[in-house]
Amino acid sequence: MKIESSKLHFSVGKSKGSHYKIFHIFKEDAKKHFKKKYSSIVDEKIFSGDAGQQLLLHAEKIIYIGLGEKAKFQPRKLASSYIKLGEQLIKWKEVGLEIHIDSSLSEKISPDAMVYHISTSLSIGAFPVDLLSKSYRERKITPGNIYFVLENQKDEDLAKKGLRKSNVVSRHVNGTRHIQHLPANYFTPEEFVSRSKEIASENKLRITVFDEDRLKKEKFGGILAVCEGSDKKPKMIILEYNPAGSNRQKKLALIGKGLTFDAGGISIKPAGEMHEMKYDMSGAAVAIHTIAAIAELGLKIPVIAAIGVAENMPDAAAIKPGDVYTAYNGITVEVQNTDAEGRLVLGDVISYVCKKYQPEYMIDLATLTGAVIVALGHEAAGLLCNSPEFTEQIKKAALTSEDRVWELPLWEEYGEDLKSDIADIRNITGGKGGGTLSAAQFLSRFVEGDVKWAHLDIAGTAWRGKASGTQCNGPTGYGIRLLVDLAETLSREK
């Protein structure tokens, strides 16, 4: 399954053709800028330089983008303007852009970060997700090229660096969005294998696919329990990236929840929003596309991506509330609610990865609980971590990437109620509240050794109904930008 690529082409330097020029304006400079020719633009409040505002002067072929007040400048607001512009761009035939990056901006944001955010946002905005429609198939528009114009050689070099990163990262953000959005009858566990193979062959990664027989042989009781009600066979897929010259002790493991559909099983979900559960594979999609981006960027850090893939359906053969299974690590689990299935899959993958690879760092990504949406909406992923230093590194990467995280407590007390009267543990707690926290406690029972482990609950950020900041509407590919920035930091550690 080939990975989709963007129709936009970016470069640094002046354009040759006749392109629309883009200028950025802070709010306090707007009046002065338009003073002579267009004072009415500011006076009549058509454009005042507010963050996110856009003014298009077709006769002059100029687009102004507002940056808001200097003191309050936020890259995420800039990104949001460019996502919108990207959406417009794919409706225009061969309209190229010449984006001017003024060096006065470098006080606020370095040219490489600016170019990175702008080009990634344009690519995200310009990537259509009406994948299965006639208009998608028949769309023949070729958007024009995009040039970044900077004021000196040093800034140009930085811009090129930002662009190199963006070309890789945006392809994988969009690749993730593409598979997130494909429905469960298109993107099956088998398709996950095919996508992973494509990623492995593009980047010369080692790939191991555990099929149902192997999962049975090696006693992956959690993954097997989840898929019993489905006619789709479960998988565990592992990709490995071992760059020359990296410190093998500093391995980063990315674990992903890959439920290609979550009907809830016998504890069936209400019909209203069940269709959204095609996104329940987002964590796994992000894990495999992140390792691809890290490898393509040549970051000097060994990484493995391990994903558990299954479909959760109700059926005569499905696991029933009250059933008990034995997990990969040997503990017995009473499944009181078959809709709390992600933790069953992740538990097995986590304990396998700890045992086989003993990574220094491990991050799991999962659309694990509706409760994280109650707590944080769609703005930030819930971050629960067993190491204060690792927490800080992740938060720093969240600031530079603008994939937001918010720390939640990983306190053992939230797991006290995971006791079962028949098995070692049960998969839900009795009471209401704190569902994200008890889910993380469940996962913590499968973490072995002294790995620095973080759990990211991406149920809210993987998909959203409204664009905001660097995140687009619909499937977002949330997590790729965060983890690439984190891997950059970790790769610089000795």
Instruction: Indicate which residues carry an active-site annotation.
Output: 269, 343
Work out what residue 370 binds among ligand BES, Zn ion, none; the CB cut-off runs from 5 to 8 Å by kind: ligand BES
Site string for ligand BES, 392-431 (x = CB under 6 A): ------------------------------------x---
Q: Which is nearer to Zn ion, 261 or 390 (CB)?
A: 261
* Contact call for residue 477 and ligand BES (CB under 6 A): no
Identify which of residues 312 and 393 has a Cβ nearer to ligand BES in the complex. 312
CA gap 39, 43 in Å, rounded: 6
Binding flag, residue 472, ligand BES (CB under 6 A): no
Q: Give the nearest distance from C-beta 265 to Zn ion in angstroms.
A: 8
HSE value, Cβ hemisphere, 13 Å, CA-based, for 347: 33
Identify what 337 binds: ligand BES, Zn ion, none; CB under 5 to 8 Å per kind.
ligand BES
Do the beta carbons of residue 314 and residue 265 sit within 8 Å?
Answer: yes
State phi, psi for 13 to the nearest 5 degrees.
130, 165
Count of residues that bind Zn ion according to CB under 5 A: 6
Structure-token pair, residue 122 = 């344009």
215 binding partner (options ligand BES, Zn ion, none; Cβ < 5 to 8 Å by kind) = none
Q: DSSP 3-state helix, strand, coil percentages of the chain (rounded to 5)?
A: 45, 20, 35
The verdict on 283 binding Zn ion (CB under 5 A) reads no
Residue from 316, 321, 339 nearest 265 by CA: 339
Nearest residue to 199 (alpha-carbon basis) of 214, 215, 178: 178
Token digits for 194? Answer: 């095919």
Of 440, 459, 480, 483, the residue at the interface with ligand BES (CB under 6 A) is 459
User: H or E element: which one contains 437?
Assistant: helix 435-444
Half-sphere exposure (Cβ direction) of 385: Cα atoms closer than 13 Å: 22
The position carrying tokens 């996502």 is 83
Q: Is 311 in the site for Zn ion (CB under 5 A)?
A: no
CA 69 to chain centre: 30
Which of 98, 112, 228, 262 is the binder for ligand BES (CB under 6 A)?
Answer: 262
Q: Nearest approach, Cβ of 137 to ligand BES (angstroms)?
A: 29
Choose one: 2-10, 65-73, 335-343, 457-465; the region binding Zn ion (CB under 5 A). 335-343
Stretch that binds ligand BES, among 42-50, 287-295, 340-348, 470-478 (CB under 6 A): 340-348
Three-state SS letters, 44-76: CCCCCCCCCCEEEECCCCEEEEEEECHHHCCHH
Q: Please choose which of Zn ion, ligand BES, none residue 428 contacts, taking the beta carbon within 5 to 8 angstroms, the exact cut-off set by kind.
A: ligand BES
| Position 180 contacts ligand BES (CB under 6 A) | no
Strand order in the sheet with 252-262: 206-210, 235-241, 303-312, 252-262, 361-366, 452-457, 381-385, 405-407
When binding is defined by CB under 6 A, the residue of 305, 309, 340, 472 that contacts ligand BES is 340
- Of 410 and 428, the one with the shorter C-beta distance to ligand BES is 428
364 belongs to the binding site for Zn ion (CB under 5 A) = no
Q: Quick count: other Cβ atoms within 10 Å of Cβ 41?
A: 18
User: Out of 66, 342, 475, 477, which residue is the one contacting Zn ion (CB under 5 A)?
Assistant: 342
For ligand BES (CB under 6 A), the number of binding residues is 15
156 binds ligand BES (CB under 6 A): no
Reduced to 3 states (helix: H, G, I; strand: E, B; else coil), residue 287 is: helix
- Alpha-carbon gap, residue 65 to 56, rounded angstroms: 9
Q: Minimum CB separation from ligand BES for residue 458, in Å?
A: 9
Q: Which amino acid is at 417?
A: D
Indicate the SS3 state at residue 359: coil
Nearer to ligand BES, 176 or 367 (CB): 367
Q: Which stretch binds ligand BES (CB under 6 A): 16-24, 32-40, 94-102, 366-374?
A: 366-374
What DSSP line would sit under 213-251, residue for residue?
Answer: HHHHHTT-HHHHHHHTT-SSPPEEEEEEE--TTS-GGG-
Is the separation of the CB atoms in 419 and 441 below 8 Å? no
CA distances to 32, 163, 208, 269 from 51, in Å: 17, 23, 47, 41
Residue 262 interacting with Zn ion (CB under 5 A): yes
Minimum gap (Å) between residue 369 Cβ and Zn ion = 9
When CB distances are held under 5 to 8 angstroms depending on the partner's kind, the choice from Zn ion, ligand BES, none that residue 435 binds is ligand BES
Q: Which residue of 156, 334, 339, 360 would you call a contact of Zn ion, by CB under 5 A?
A: 339
C-beta of residue 441 within 8 angstroms of C-beta of residue 365: no
Q: Using the rule CB under 6 A, is 344 a contact of ligand BES?
A: no
State yes or no: residue 280 binds ligand BES (CB under 6 A): yes
Cβ of residue 364: shortest distance to Zn ion, in angstroms? 13
- Pick the binder of Zn ion from 87, 228, 280, 485 (CB under 5 A): 280
346 neighbors 443 (Cβ within 8 angstroms): yes
Q: Could you say whether residue 319 binds ligand BES (CB under 6 A)?
A: no
The pairing of beta strand 62-68 with beta strand 54-57: antiparallel
Told to check if 360 binds ligand BES by CB under 6 A, we report no
Chain residues binding ligand BES by CB under 6 A are 262, 280, 337, 339-342, 367-371, 428, 435, 459
Chain residues binding Zn ion by CB under 5 A are 259, 262, 280, 339, 341-342
